[in-house]
Amino acid sequence: MSRLSVRKTYKLYIGGAFPRSESGRSYPVTSAKGDFLANASRASRKDARDAVVAARKAFPGWSGATPYNRGQILYRVAEMLEGRRGQFAEELGGGKRAAAERVDATVDRLVWYAGWSDKIAAVHGAANPVAGPYFNLSSPEPTGVVAVVAPADPLLGLVSVVAPAIVTGNTCVVVASEPSPLAAITLAEVLATSDLPGGVVNILTGSQAELAPWLAAHMDVNGLDLTGVGDADLALRCERAAAENLKRVLRPAPEDWTADPGIGRMTRFLETKTVWHPIGI
């Protein structure tokens, strides 16, 4: 018997749930050849505000978790992603072998960041020499809620900007790649079943020109990653809006997502707390 295939409905990912956009809007996603693939939700300003509320609510618990526990959860995300390797390769397209290699690189990237979770404080912190009977210790702490405009690379690039933000204790709101959002929502399904608390990562699909300026201006967002913004005027407007509450901003720049990521993205959204303690008391 012939049967109709069950088409997947791509929604948003906010607070651990999968709502449709409150505006009821969607937009068609097509392949590189122009073939229709699916409809994705077009997030609104209200959806962006809801995502920031969810991220702020999740921040105390996530930042308060032990670094080792955060690393365990990221490793679990890698395990779950590995288990859906075929599905991700199909959604990425562009040749089975190349897509499979891209998925493998994404799994490896998650494992790499998971390993850094309980080491970044030792590398980025310091015991400072002072002239007096005191210990002076500097230690990194997460910035808070980080808004991320994801790059065009729909999976490896996405994970390469989200993982360093959350492994250090931040929560984030992500604007997924506008032309290629399908892998981002499938990744959200992985996150939802990987012990990651709801609200730690929130994924919006839709127009970055519509969403990015409002996230940049939002007074409860503490950091802004503009990596995926290709329009120089839009990036400038976002940076000016971010200055209103002194957000930490990562400007867009060309990236080779297959290269060694280093620790720069982890330290970009960290604050440094310095504590003085008398010696001998």
**Does some domain include residue 104?**
yes
Alpha-carbon distance 110 to 91, whole Å?
A: 19
**Does some domain include residue 239?**
yes
pLDDT tens, residue by residue, 11-28: 999 999 999 999 999 999
pLDDT tens, residue by residue, 206-259: 999 999 999 999 999 999 999 999 999 999 999 999 999 999 999 999 899 999
Instruction: Indicate which CATH number applies to the domain containing 79.
Output: 3.40.605.10
- Number of folded domains that form the chain: 1
pLDDT at site 92 = 85
State whether the Cα torsion 93-82-258-161 is positive or negative.
positive
Phi, psi values for residue 274, rounded to 5° = -115, 130
Does 6 score more than 80 pLDDT?
no
**Does some domain include residue 222?**
yes
**Does some domain include residue 69?**
yes
Of 58, 1, 82, 27, which is closest to residue 209 (Cα–Cα)?
27
**Does some domain include residue 6?**
no
**Does some domain include residue 235?**
yes
**Does some domain include residue 107?**
yes
**Does some domain include residue 120?**
yes
Alpha-carbon distance 237 to 216, whole Å?
A: 9
Per DSSP (E only), the strands in the chain are: 26-30, 36-41, 126-127, 134-142, 145-149, 171-175, 201-204, 223-225, 248-250, 270-278
